[in-house]
Amino acid sequence: MVAVGAPSEKLAEILAKEGHSFLAFDDVEALLKQAESRPALIVLWVENASSGLTRCVEPLTRAFLETPLIVACRSIERWGIRAALTAGAAGIVLWKDLATTLGPCAQAVQAGQACVPRTQWRQLEPPALSSREKQILGLVVMGYTNGLIAQQLFLAESTVKSHLSSAFRKLGVRSRNEAVNLILDPERGLGMGILALGGEPVAPTLAAV
């Protein structure tokens, strides 16, 4: 178990009730120094699951290849779930549900299963963006305005706006800046799906202002 303060006490209480013996570590680095050990399970408390989740999970899953890892956190967004699982996590439990979900999740991941909150399992799949939506989002990332995108792709500007509105809904964002940040964030795993569409890339003809 890797946790500090109150989370450590709560996790320890639940694990003890489930019959698990455990050791608590203050940070990932402290646990990595025990890489020669073979724990049956790692529970990693992540205070802020919206930032740096992969950097916490990957070193542990590389060092303890045979050990399933559960991420425990107060909340997590859809992209955080995908990032955690891609980095090697086997399960995710939320703070408010710890008492009822940590034990069953531990059993599931030790049996070779992945385990995430039921309310969020649909969020594991990437959004089903159309080729045109991906193309337009790629130009948004390059800094193109709607007018320039319309010129580049020989579309009406209203059509560009319609495609962007649809793409924003699928991505769960509300603005161009949020969309760009999401696409360029390597932990969220969307960049290659949107920026690499296959074939020849669209060459910019005019820099956006």
**Could you read off the pLDDT of 6-26 as tens digits, one per residue?**
688 899 999 898 888 888 898
- Locate CATH 3.40.50.2300 in the chain: 6-124
72-86 pLDDT, tens per residue?
999 887 778 888 888
Rounded-to-integer distance, Cα 208 and Cα 181, Å = 18
- For 131-195, give the CATH class: mainly alpha
Q: What is the pLDDT of residue 121?
A: 67
| Total-model pTM | 0.67
Which residues of the chain fall below pLDDT 70? 1, 4-6, 121-126, 187-193, 195-209
Q: What is the pLDDT of residue 47?
A: 85
Q: Could you tell me the CATH superfamily of domain 6-124?
A: Response regulator (3.40.50.2300)
Instruction: Please identify which residue in the block is written with the tokens 């996790």.
Output: 11
**N-term to C-term CA, the chain:** 50
Rounded-to-integer distance, Cα 209 and Cα 56, Å = 38
| Other CB atoms within 10 A of residue 189 CB | 14
